[in-house]
Every structure is written in C-alpha cells, then in structure tokens.
Structure 1
Amino acid sequence: MLRILVFVLAAIAATGTTLSLLTSYRWYIRMWDFPRVALMVLAAIALVAAVPVLTGWVRAAVVVAMLLVIGWQGFRIYPYTPFAKTEVAKAVINRENCISAFSFNVLQTNRDYARTIQLIDREDPDIVLLLETDKLWEDALKPVIDRYPHRSSAPLDNLYGLILLSRLPVEDAEITWLIDKETPSVFATMQTKAGAQFRYIGLHPRPPQPGEDTEKRDGEIAIAARHAKETKLPVLAMGDFNDVAWSRTSQMFKRIGGYLDPRIGRGLYATFPANLPGLRWPLDHLFMSPDFTLVDMKVLENVGSDHLPVLAKVCLAPRAAKVLNDEPATPDAADHKDMREAIRDGKQAAREEGTASGGSPPPP
C-alpha cells in the first residue's frame, strides 16, 4: 500500500512539473502553473518515503526524479522568497505622494457582506478594487461606496463584476471589455494628494478550467501590458489575474509593461485558496512601474471569500525610486512575439465563442 502511495505522489509531482513546461493554451496544461509549492511538497514526501519503501533501480529512479522536481519548482519559486534580492525598495518619500490600495475578490456567492465592510472600514484605503461583485454586493456595500467620491461599477451576476473606488482625484476612469464581453477591466488616471498623476489598471480575466482554455485570459493580460508600455505615466496594476506571478504570461506582462514586483525577495503573498493556508498560490497581484517605492504590502485575513484581500502602501517618487529600485527587465523579441500572439489568439477565441467585445483600453 505504501509503495502505491509513493508511486502516486511521484507520478503527480513528475507529471504536473512536466506539463508545466509545455507552451499551450489548454486548461489542463496551464493549470499546472499554479500549484508549484504543492508539487514540491508532494515530491518531497515521495522522496522521503521512497528511500525506506522502494529498492534497487526503482528507488534510484524515483529519488532522482523527485530531486529534479524539487530543484525545478524551487528554482521557479525562489524569487518569491526572502532569500532572493528585492527589486522594489522600501522607502517613504513625501507622504503626500503615498497611496494605499486594496484589492479583493469577494466571491460573488459569499453573502457575509459585513466582514468585508468592516475590513475596508478598518484599513481605510485610498483605492478599493472589488471583484466578483453583483448587484447584491453593490447594494450591500453602499455605505462604503458612498464614502468615496470617485466610483466606477459594473455589477454582474457571472462572477466577473467589479467596483473601483477612489478618494484620490480621478481625471478619467473607464470600465472596458478588452476581449470578452463578459469580463470587464478598469483603467483610470488618478492623482496623489500632492497632484502627481499615475495610471491605475484593474484586471480580472477568466481562469483555466474545464471548458475554458487561456487564450482570452492571456490576451487581456497582454493588452494591459501593452497599455502600460505605451503610457507616459507611472502605472499601478492590481487584481485577480487568475494567473500566478511566475507563469510565462505574467512574466511577459511584467517585462513588456516595464513593471517591478514588490513580492520578489519578500514572499509569495499567496491569496488562493483562502482555506488552504499551506497550499495557496499568488493569484491576486500588485505590479508597479519603477516610479514607486514600497511602504508596506500584506495579505489580510479571511473574510469569507475563497481569496484573501491584498493591501499595499506605495509612494510615487520617480527620481528617488529610479535610484533605489532595480531596473525593470528588458523585454526581448520573444516577449513581443508572445504579446502579439496572445492578443491575436485571445480575440480569435472570443470570436469563435461568440463573446468578442470589440473593446480596447482607453488611450494611454
């Protein structure tokens, strides 16, 4: 029985790792981008158990395979550990240019509105992005919404509604459907209290799941990356990307958009699934252009959703940040090719499914 368990664990770890190496939009391949920590844990268990349970060449093969799995998964996860070098500096520079931003996928079917309201009241962020909000959520959050002078909302009952709130001055805010008419995104130009302008992007594309490959998700992420590349303003991008920070698509997004990731060198900041603390992965993101420094970033407590909320405090200080921060990675020809193909294939998939929006982001 123990031998069978070792073989099962080793097979899952090895198969998942091998599939994660493939370039494909298929959901049953892209899903293996997510559980890298879990695959590493399974490989470690299989490795430890294989030594006393198996013998001969079979034991040697399992041990070598599990060491390769642990090594590869560890390599992919390593940047998101405290052992790696940070790329965003921690610094408070001119408090009037500092911003607190909150992002939370509320889980549409979660009807415990009070806990979310209490959390927002307690943290009192300058910017609030809420995802999976339907009309019931919008109505329940009215006491919160009414406190923010700038509001954009698209309540939907398909798990892809959103609300953006800001107490900072907003010059323009537009909810747009980049590829799929069922999944909105939001773009806004805001100002700090000192009057410094920046661009805010909020995303929530669809996840890989049975019946849903990743062409449309990857296309929306690529469009947002291109938008950040083209704008002359500093950019903050937040939301539930339904993709992990270390995936090929997220890394392309980061390089094309010229972003830095404050999680690098600090931790996973894993947010999903909320009820499995040891096996979570980072689905809810904050990326920033190199014009910002970090004050603080944290994952908050579970308030009834399958995601955990993210709260970040950053300062917009372009001259100081460019000295303190690392330079963003430069995109190469492969990144540009991946971006173009992701946008093309995402739009094609939406047309074939009859969900094409014909939308685009506002001018950069």
Structure 2
Amino acid sequence: MLATILLGLFWGVVALVAAISVLPFSKIPHGAIRGMAFPREQLFVLTVALAAVALVFLEPDHRNPALAILAVIAAIHTGYILKFTPLWPRQSVDATEAQAADAENRVTILASNVKQSNRQYQRLIDLIRTEDPDIAAALEVDPDWVDALYDALKDQYPHWVKVPKDNSYGVVMMSKMEPSETQVRDLLVDDVPSIRTKVAMPSGRMWRLYIVHPEPPVPYHDTKGRDGEIALVGIEASKDDLPAIVTGDLNDVAWSTTTRRFQRLSGLLDPRVGRGFYNTFHAGIAVMRWPLDHLFHDAEFRLIRMSRLPNIGSDHFPILFSLALTGEAQSNSTPEQSDAEERAEVREMAAEEREKDREAIGTDWEK
C-alpha cells in the first residue's frame, strides 16, 4: 500500500514538473503561465533528482518510461539555461586592455532595485561610494529613498533624474556624465515610469540610456503591460540613431519568451550569454534565484566587467556593468531578427493595453 502511494506521488511530481516545463511554450501572456519560465535552473535540478530516484527505487516497467520523460524535460531546460553558462559562446565581445583603459569612452552603470519598504539606505549609499559608478539607477524609490540618496551623494553626482513614487515604481538616476533630452514616460501603464535620456561620454561621444521597471508577472493577471513595455523599448532602441543601453529590473528572466523577443526587436546584446546567470532575485532565498535585473547593449560597446554586488537589504542584489564605447559594431553572435508580423503583434498588444483603465500591479505591496 505504501509503495503504491509513493509511486503515485512520484508520478504526480513528474507530471507537475512536465506541465510547468512545457506550458510556457504556449506563449499565453498571463502571469500564471509566464511565471513558470522563471525557475528553469531549479526545475532542471529537480528533474535530475527525480531521475536518480527512478534509477534507484523504481522497477523497470516504471523506471524506463520515467527516465525517458525526465530526459525530455531535462533537455528542455538545458536548451534554455545552457546559453547562460561558460559552455556557450559569449554574445558580447570583451574589451581589449586599451579599450578598458580609455577613460574617455568608458562607462560603469550600477542598477539596484532597493525594495521600497527597505530602509537600509546606508547600505546602498556605501556600495555606490565604494564602486563609484558613473551612473547609478535605483528602482522602487519613494520620496524618503530619494531624499536619503540625494543628501548623501549629491556632491558625488551632479546630474539627477528623480521620479519618487509611493507605489513601488519610483526611479532615480544619478550621473557623473551629463544627460540631455531626458524623458520620463509612462509607456503603457499609468504610474509605471521609465527614463530615456542621451548621455555624453567624457570624450563627447553620445549614447542612449533606457532605464525600465515594468510590472511583475502575477498569477491573477495577464502580462501584456510588462511584455508590451519591454517590446516597445526594444523597437525604440532598434530605431535609435545612437548606440543604446537598456537596463533595470525587467521582472523577467534572461531566457524567457518576452526577453528573447526584446532582443530580436532591439538587436541589443546580452552580456550574460556565455558568461553566467548572475541571478539577482531573490536575495534572501538562495535556492530560488533567477536573473531579473539586466543590461542589454549595442554592439558598439565592449564588456569590461559585470558583477553581482552584495545584498543591500533588498530582495534584489544590485548589479554592475562596465562597458567601453568603441564606435565599431562587433559581436560574437547576434540575436535573431524580428519580422514585420512580430512588430505588428507588439503594436496591437500595446494599443490594447493603453485602452485599459487600471492600476499598476502591486502598488500596495510595499505599504
């Protein structure tokens, strides 16, 4: 009797893992489906563990079909996550020593989702002072966060874009490099701002910076707001006459349908490819981490450094990127190209989302 129950439990877990593994293929824009794509690393490990159980405990009439099913599931997850390991060719090109040493055309960017209710301001302030990035972006900042950062860092950073909000979507940008033509925009959902600005290197060369923080996927709502905002930024970056960088908490993993579409639309490179996961969320739960905070860059940039930084009391780790602007496009590989049909689908989704009269997801989570 016990053996039958345990066998039923085993097959139930296998069926659940299989369902979670394949449902994201449906591309249904709903949080209950899209969120299943997040834990592919964890599902791969669980699949291997289930295969070990099958090998040790199951009789051949159950063992063989179980191993066959688990092999397919493992292959699915491997196909997604292998790209973000050193076993895969790197997408971004490493900077040469000369490019890395050229301070006139080098930029270091620190991005951090601070978690609005986190009040350990000094930990981020100390980290920014230690790393001394050229540009720092903080997300989920309310007025108290902005005041604390500005009071401590105003002498270090002469240029500020402040968008404090009490709804978990505030953003602040502090910069040593002079921004211009700065826009703060709610691209699709009211009170979900993003920043678009032109930035001048010390050499005078110009580039474009996008700082974004779309809505998270939740099991009770569709993801059209998040997906549409990410896609629209991708289309805009592809049409920009300046080399672009897009950074922030995208509330999406690097291997998802939405992020891969963003890369097709934008043509921007992901420095994680071939280098590592650099998981930034959840900072407090080691076994449940995935890459939610990103930077994508034009092929004119070369990667100098990429680092996940120490915990600042948030549920996200800050992340830092240092890049050299070369003026010559180069990559080890490029994203697939988007087509007219995909761009039309994005515009239709964005138009549908703009017509909705709703509050942004999670505006009361941090209160």
Q: What is the TM-score of this pair, normalised by structure 2? A: 0.91
**Distance (Å, rounded) in 2 between the aligned partners of 1:96 and 1:351:** 45
* SS class of match (1:277): coil
Match of 2:130 in 1: 122
Map of 1:73-88 to 2, 5 A cutoff?
73-88=77-92
Match of 1:329 in 2: 335
Match of 2:248 in 1: 239
* SS class of match (1:21): helix
Match of 1:214 in 2: 223
**Distance (Å, rounded) in 1 between the aligned partners of 2:286 and 2:344:** 37
Check 1:8–1:119 CA distance in 2 against 1; reply closer, same or farther (3 A cut). Answer: farther
State the identity as a percent. 34
How much does 1:118 deviate? 0.9
AA of the residue aligned to 2:334: P
How much does 1:350 deviate? 4.3
Query: Is the 8 Å Cα contact of residues 32 and 220 (structure 2) preserved in structure 1?
Result: no
**Distance (Å, rounded) in 1 between the aligned partners of 2:10 and 2:107:** 49
Match of 1:132 in 2: 140
Match of 2:203 in 1: 194
Check 1:150–1:340 CA distance in 2 against 1; reply closer, same or farther (3 A cut). Answer: farther
How much does 1:263 deviate? 0.8
Query: Is the 8 Å Cα contact of residues 34 and 243 (structure 1) preserved in structure 2?
Result: yes
Which structure 1 residue ranges, 5 or more long, are not aligned? 357-364
* SS class of match (1:200): strand
Map of 1:1-364 to 2, 5 A cutoff?
2-3=6-7, 5-91=9-95, 92=97, 93=99, 94-147=102-155, 148-319=157-328, 322-323=329-330, 325-326=331-332, 328-333=334-339, 336-354=340-358
Runs ≥4 in structure 1, deviation > 4 angstroms?
A: none
1:198-255 Cα offsets, whole Å, 9 max, x none, are: 0000110001103331101111011101111111101111000011111121111112
* SS class of match (2:229): helix
**Distance (Å, rounded) in 2 between the aligned partners of 1:243 and 1:144:** 31
1:301-328 Cα offsets, whole Å, 9 max, x none, are: 1111111101011000022xx35x2353
AA of the residue aligned to 1:253: F
Answer with 80-89 or 52-61: which moved more.
52-61
1:27-75 Cα offsets, whole Å, 9 max, x none, are: 1111111110011111111111122222243222221111111111011
* SS class of match (1:311): strand
Query: Is the 8 Å Cα contact of residues 300 and 325 (structure 2) preserved in structure 1?
Result: yes
Query: Is the 8 Å Cα contact of residues 125 and 153 (structure 2) preserved in structure 1?
Result: no
Check 1:347–1:212 CA distance in 2 against 1; reply closer, same or farther (3 A cut). Answer: farther
How much does 1:182 deviate? 2.0
**Distance (Å, rounded) in 2 between the aligned partners of 1:5 and 1:280:** 26
Query: Is the 8 Å Cα contact of residues 217 and 346 (structure 1) preserved in structure 2?
Result: no
**Distance (Å, rounded) in 2 between the aligned partners of 1:266 and 1:338:** 29
**Distance (Å, rounded) in 2 between the aligned partners of 1:11 and 1:312:** 40
**Distance (Å, rounded) in 2 between the aligned partners of 1:330 and 1:210:** 30
AA of the residue aligned to 1:169: E
Which structure 2 residue ranges, 5 or more long, are not aligned? 361-367
**Distance (Å, rounded) in 2 between the aligned partners of 1:113 and 1:272:** 19
Answer with 130-139 or 5-14: which moved more.
5-14
Check 1:186–1:282 CA distance in 2 against 1; reply closer, same or farther (3 A cut). Answer: same
**Distance (Å, rounded) in 2 between the aligned partners of 1:125 and 1:227:** 26
How much does 1:197 deviate? 0.2
Number of matched residues? 351
* SS class of match (2:209): strand
**Distance (Å, rounded) in 2 between the aligned partners of 1:12 and 1:330:** 32
Match of 2:363 in 1: none
Match of 2:365 in 1: none
* SS class of match (1:188): strand
1:90-143 Cα offsets, whole Å, 9 max, x none, are: 114122100000000000111111111111111111011110001121122123
Query: Is the 8 Å Cα contact of residues 254 and 260 (structure 1) preserved in structure 2?
Result: yes
